[in-house]
Amino acid sequence: DVKVTQSSRYLVKRTGEKVFLECVQDMDHENMFWYRQDPGLGLRLIYFSYDVKMKEKGDIPEGYSVSREKKERFSLILESASTNQTSMYLCASSIPGQGGQPQHFGDGTRLSIL
């Protein structure tokens, strides 16, 4: 079974801090994704990556950056955390494929910015 592991289930940080969310997958998947999930808004794509050192902006990249130095690891960075970034963050991975492929999700990180 594919396993996607997010480093923290719960995280509390202060406004202005630089925050790192880590995600590791063990199935050698090329694609990795970061979403945020808010009530009533569903999943919104922040960034995705098709390969090592490659990244693409999703629908809501403002205030975030990402890093993919190794194939199995995809990090989400909040450069200067703000209260409106309090949310559930979900990481996912998949194989590439035109038209969409099943994504495998981690358990999520619930981030609170105080």
Binding residues vs other proteins (CB under 8 A): 4, 30-31, 33, 40-43, 45, 48, 50, 90, 92, 94-108, 110
Q: Which CB, 40 or 62, lies closer to other proteins?
A: 40
Least Å distance, CB 45 to other proteins, is 7
Least Å distance, CB 81 to other proteins, is 22
Least Å distance, CB 58 to other proteins, is 8
Taking the C-alpha atoms of residue 35 and residue 105, their distance in angstroms, rounded to an integer, is 10
Q: Which CB, 85 or 93, lies closer to other proteins?
A: 93
Instruction: Give me the torsion for CA of 40, 57, 32, 105, rounded to 10°.
Output: 0
Q: Which CB, 42 or 84, lies closer to other proteins?
A: 42
Q: Which CB, 17 or 71, lies closer to other proteins?
A: 71
Least Å distance, CB 113 to other proteins, is 19
Total residues belonging to the chain: 114
